[in-house]
Amino acid sequence: MLTEALNTELPQYPRYDGTEKLNLLGLAPGELRYFFKGLGEKPYRAHQVMHWVYRRGVLDFHGMTDLSVQFRKRLDLIATLDLPEIAHTDRSKDGTTKWLVNVGSGQAVETVFIPELSRGTLCISSQAGCALDCAFCATGYHGFNRNLTAAEILGQVFLANRGLKIEGAITNIVFMGMGEPLANYRNVMPVVQLLVDDYGFGLSRRRVTISTAGLVPMIYRLAKECNVALAVSLHAPTDDLRDQLVPINKRHPIRQLLKACWHYAEEIASRQITFEYVMLRDVNDSLEQARQLTSLVRGRPAKVNLIPFNSFPGAQFQCSSKHTIDEFCQYLRSQGVVATIRQTRGNDIDAACGQLAGKVENRMRVRLRDKVLKRLN
């Protein structure tokens, strides 16, 4: 199932085959240009359609008035712009909004909007469930069903914009919802391209963040093909502990992971890597572990984001005390490490970090924690 969860080959350029309508939502700019070329149209048609769809939110070809009537009718016959559907909406007392998004076959993922004074962050999902089985995460606890398509990933942005009804409310997008984004590279990359493209959503690359549990080969690939912010789920300063908390560490241990991170920071100029570190009482929160963490990142282009653990049904951990978290953070700062403490948002609606579960029918026969993974030394 881990192999099935890895979807890393880029898609073939689409061509209308005459059998069923092609969903143009989520096609990368190059894919869309190729599609129109196959119809005998000029490449600029892709830019026209992208402007209508991603800048103006028009999902009806007949509303794209700078296209000829004949061409609009033709598009309506062979293509579509289909969104997933919202199954349920929850709103937290702190202003956080969570949507349960139906992606078909009884599966649903969760999308979260977190409003702040200076920005609005949308947290989107890339898989229905997750095969990486991190011990402290509700998504991994419920297992894995399938990768989301690019349309299902990007559709979350459309649905959130519609639900918020405030133009410009979403300023930042983070791939920190359900799933491991780099395990669904094939469908995540077109979405990233559309988020930052001038004819797409036009976001600054610094305002788009991909989070990974540590798929080392894909971090190197990302450095070649993408230029957005990178966050890494570290959560432990030693391999022995990280093997237990983040099982993929058995294949890609900390030394290899950090080497890939520093490579990414070097290749992507002025990029600081954010290391996520969930605070688990009496597990990874001692001052000795703070010292070990300091030795890993001090003097590097790194920021440590300490995350108070958010519990969920079936969780085996407790959150560190506020005093312990503050003390841990102060030690890091005293050693010259940039460190922050994430403010918990949306935990009253199970929308906080680590709580997203959605509705997933698990297809994993053996959990990753139970597998013996060879380290690639």
Q: Is the pLDDT of residue 368 over 90?
A: no
C-alpha distance from residue 203 to each of 191, 199, 211, 269 (Å): 12, 10, 17, 18
pLDDT by residue (tens digit) across 266-309?
Answer: 998 667 999 999 999 999 999 999 999 999 999 999 999 999 99
In this predicted structure, what is the pLDDT of residue 73?
A: 96
Identify which of 236, 246, 244 has the alpha carbon closest to the alpha carbon of residue 285.
236
Q: What percent of the chain has pLDDT over 90?
A: 78
Q: What is the model's pTM?
A: 0.92
User: Which of 137, 226, 329, 353 is an active site residue?
Assistant: 353
Strand partners, 340: 305
**DSSP reduced 3-state for 312:** coil
* CB 242 within 8 Å of CB 236: yes
pLDDT per residue over 46-84, tens digit each?
Answer: 999 999 999 999 999 999 999 999 999 999 999 999 999
pLDDT in tens, 135-181: 999 888 889 999 999 999 999 999 999 999 887 899 999 999 999 99
> Please, which pLDDT band fits residue 105 given cuts at 50, 70 and 90?
confident
pLDDT at 377: 46
Give the active site residue among 31, 110, 152, 180: 110
| DSSP of 217-286 | HHHHHHHHH--SEEEEE---SSHHHHHHHSGGGGTS-HHHHHHHHHHHHHHSTTPPEEEEEEEBTTTS-S
Residue 276, classed as helix, strand or coil, is: strand
Query: Looking at the predicted structure, is the pLDDT value of residue 366 above 70?
Result: no
What pLDDT shows up at residue 2? 56
Structural domains of the chain ordered from first start: 21-80 (1.10.150.530), 85-365 (3.20.20.70)
**Would residue 110 show up in a list of annotated catalytic residues for this protein?**
yes
Q: Are 294 and 337 in contact (CB under 8 A)?
A: yes
Would you call 327 a catalytic residue per the annotation?
no
Structure tokens at 101: 């998004």
Work out the average pLDDT over 352-371: 72
Q: What is the pLDDT of residue 1?
A: 53
**Which is more confident, 134 or 19?**
134
In this predicted structure, what is the pLDDT of residue 122?
Answer: 98
Average pLDDT, the chain: 91
Is a pLDDT exceeding 80 seen at residue 11? no
